[in-house]
Chain A
């Protein structure tokens, strides 16, 4: 029983971590798309023309 419980807990932890990674990756993808456009540069600096598009109200 103990062993079953333990593996249960770790399964929950694994699920939690998977959720955290999925949330993080979704946020990063969304943020990069907002700044650099869909399929925009993954790292480094954006082209000037691209960054000019971003106006904050």
Chain B
């Protein structure tokens, strides 16, 4: 499995996302730029320029038509994927930490930071897909301040108007975006900041990662914890591998938090866990610093990782990955 090194960012990566076909990889970074790459060969196809601060988050719709991003310059932006043109800018009092499309691309949910007297806020915007996409409304469809700990990550579930959120306290919750009501929660889902939340392909379950060094699979309806993967390092990202029974996790202590060199050993690897047996099955090395974000190709044919080192590594799995049957031949539902 020879990785392709995607060189183009000058600062740490913050989030990476494949489009639905998996031919494109979108990457955003503290260097204020969003890049798009061909996943098969790592060639850079283009950039989305204009942000005046770290770009924290990015998501692409299912048609690869619109891209939405959130940044430290207090803006959420809508982009034309093909032309790189910025179509619309939403402005907020604080930074945008997370954005996500719903399953039919008609809405975007966004989390803004709690700062300077402003509470953490969750807004849902209707995306007008008519015409060229430049005609959007500045006003959100829904707006609320989540009670308790601030939200760090979010995604639309299959239940109408219900989003799933991860919080700084380690809480995972379901909110009704229409009423702002917390309809379900698991206060002890994690012991520390929830750093990533990725849905299964059918959106019926999700995986979360946390600074508490643990990744977990949750039932998106009941928020019941189904599986737990315990590591030795703070985790920044967790992803599900379609068609294979694996969960990929990555993290590593920040360089500034590392007091002894020995602690750094082996911390910057993407680790593969057996989804059902909760056992580690493999590791992929490569980054020189913590792994900030992991995405798996939607067809399950490879994965990419984005690091604090400013590199994106794209891996295409070899045949052995697809043939491997750790612990024997069994049929495991995806």
A residues bordering B, Cβ < 8 Å? 14, 17-18, 20-21, 24-25, 27-29, 31-32, 34-36, 41-46, 48, 51-52, 54-56
Contacts and interface: CB of A to CB of B under 8 A. Distances in A.
B202 A35 contact: yes
B201 A44 contact: yes
B304 to A, nearest CB: 22
Contacts of A27: 219, 226
Dominant secondary structure at the B interface: loop
B183 A56 contact: yes
A56 B162 contact: yes
Contact of B160 (A17, A21, A32, A55): A55
Dominant secondary structure at the A interface: helix
Contacts, number: 70
B159 A32 contact: no
Given A20-B276, A34-B221, A43 B334 contact: yes
Contact of B158 (A21, A25, A35, A43): A35
Contact of A56 (B174, B205, B333): B174
Contact of A21 (B204, B330, B334): B330
Contact of B327 (A17, A44, A48, A54): A17
A29 B333 CA distance: 8
A45 B202 contact: yes
Given A20-B276, A31-B221, 4 more contacts: A21-B330, A32-B204, A43-B201, A43-B334
Contacts of A25: 331-333
Nearest to B279: A17
A27 B203 CA distance: 14
B103 interface: yes
B104 A56 contact: no
B160 A35 contact: no
Interface string B213-248: 000000101000010000000000000000000000
Nearest to B333: A28
Interface of B: 103-104, 158-160, 162, 174, 176, 183-184, 201-205, 219, 221, 226, 275-277, 327-328, 330-334
Nearest to A30: B219
Given A21-B276, A21-B330, A25-B331, A52 B160 contact: yes
A57 B161 CA distance: 12
8 closest Cβ pairs, A-B complex: A28-B333, A24-B276, A25-B333, A31-B204, A54-B159, A56-B159, A21-B330, A51-B158
A45 B103 contact: yes
Nearest to A27: B226
B220 to A, nearest CB: 8
A21 B103 CA distance: 29
A23 B28 CA distance: 38
